[in-house]
């Protein structure tokens, strides 16, 4: 997966998971489940909702930008206008972004009369579509991982809980297995939930940036 792979195996995941687990105050936290209690917890770990919200991640944002660049349109468009604006920023320091956008647009339009405000607006809509399609694709990939790393272990917990009711002689050993698996599920679910929320927040950030520029360009360009 293009974006979520940015976090694979990083220390940042471990840090976030540890912080969320330490901050969790509900009695349903796996670490609070006793290995010798007679009742198995009522709320399955896989059904818990993390309180940690998604946030824009710089690495994901940059990776998303690369994805948009790889699928850029031919001819002058929004991305090329932004690139031209960045070039002008170095040539004309001190000018406002609006003035630089106008200058870049005028220069590109002088070279290609088909480059209009509508072309810029339509290209932004195209990149918004690509960003949202990328979100859907990446979340789909996370769901496949979730089945292997959350749902499958959760099913194992269900089976173990059934054995606990039937095998009184082994009940303490089985409860210990449940606790260990629940701890692992909670850790993996926390990581996956955070990656999904970061991914969503990142795409939302990109979309908001694109739409903001769209509104700005619609107002400042003739």
Report yes or no on 87 lying in a domain. Answer: yes
Alpha-carbon distance values, 150 to 61, 84, 133 (Å): 27, 46, 25
pTM of the model: 0.52
Number of separate domains in the chain: 1
Report yes or no on 146 lying in a domain. Answer: yes
Instruction: Determine contact, residues 24/52, Cβ cutoff 8 Å.
Output: no
Report yes or no on 27 lying in a domain. Answer: no
Handedness of CA 144, 194, 127, 110 (dihedral sign): negative
Report yes or no on 191 lying in a domain. Answer: yes
| 155: Cβ contacts below 8 Å, ≥ 6 apart | none
Report yes or no on 13 lying in a domain. Answer: no
Q: What is the pLDDT along the chain (222 residues), one digit of tens a residue?
A: 444 433 333 444 444 544 544 454 444 333 333 333 444 455 566 566 666 677 888 998 898 889 999 999 999 999 999 999 999 998 888 899 999 999 999 999 999 999 999 999 999 999 999 999 998 988 888 888 888 888 888 898 888 878 777 877 767 777 788 899 999 999 999 999 999 999 999 999 999 999 999 999 999 987
Report yes or no on 21 lying in a domain. Answer: no
Report yes or no on 185 lying in a domain. Answer: yes
Report yes or no on 79 lying in a domain. Answer: yes
Query: What Rg value do the Cα atoms of the chain yield, rounded?
Result: 25
Domain carrying residue 78? 55-220
Per-residue pLDDT, 48: 61
């Amino acid at each position: 997966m293009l974006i979520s792979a940015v976090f694979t195996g990083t220390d940042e995941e471990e840090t976030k998971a540890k912080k969320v687990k330490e901050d969790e105050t509900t009695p349903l936290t796996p670490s609070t489940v006793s290995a010798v209690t007679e009742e198995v917890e009522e709320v399955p770990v896989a059904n818990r909702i993390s309180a940690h919200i998604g946030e824009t991640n710089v690495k994901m944002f940059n990776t998303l930008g690369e994805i948009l660049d790889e699928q850029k349109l031919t001819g002058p468009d929004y991305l090329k206008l932004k690139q031209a604006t960045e070039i002008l920023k170095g040539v004309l320091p001190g000018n406002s972004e609006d003035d630089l956008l106008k200058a870049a647009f005028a220069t590109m339009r002088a070279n290609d009369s088909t480059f209009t405000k509508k072309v810029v607006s339509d290209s932004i809509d195209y990149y918004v579509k690509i960003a949202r399609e990328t979100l859907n694709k990446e979340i789909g990939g996370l769901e496949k991982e979730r089945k292997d790393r959350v749902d499958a272990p959760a099913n194992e917990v269900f089976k173990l809980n059934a054995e606990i009711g039937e095998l009184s002689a082994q009940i303490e050993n089985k409860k210990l297995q449940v606790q260990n698996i629940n701890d692992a599920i909670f850790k993996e679910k926390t990581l996956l939930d955070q990656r999904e929320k970061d991914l969503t927040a990142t795409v939302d950030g990109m979309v908001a940036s694109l739409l903001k520029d769209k509104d700005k360009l619609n107002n400042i360009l003739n």
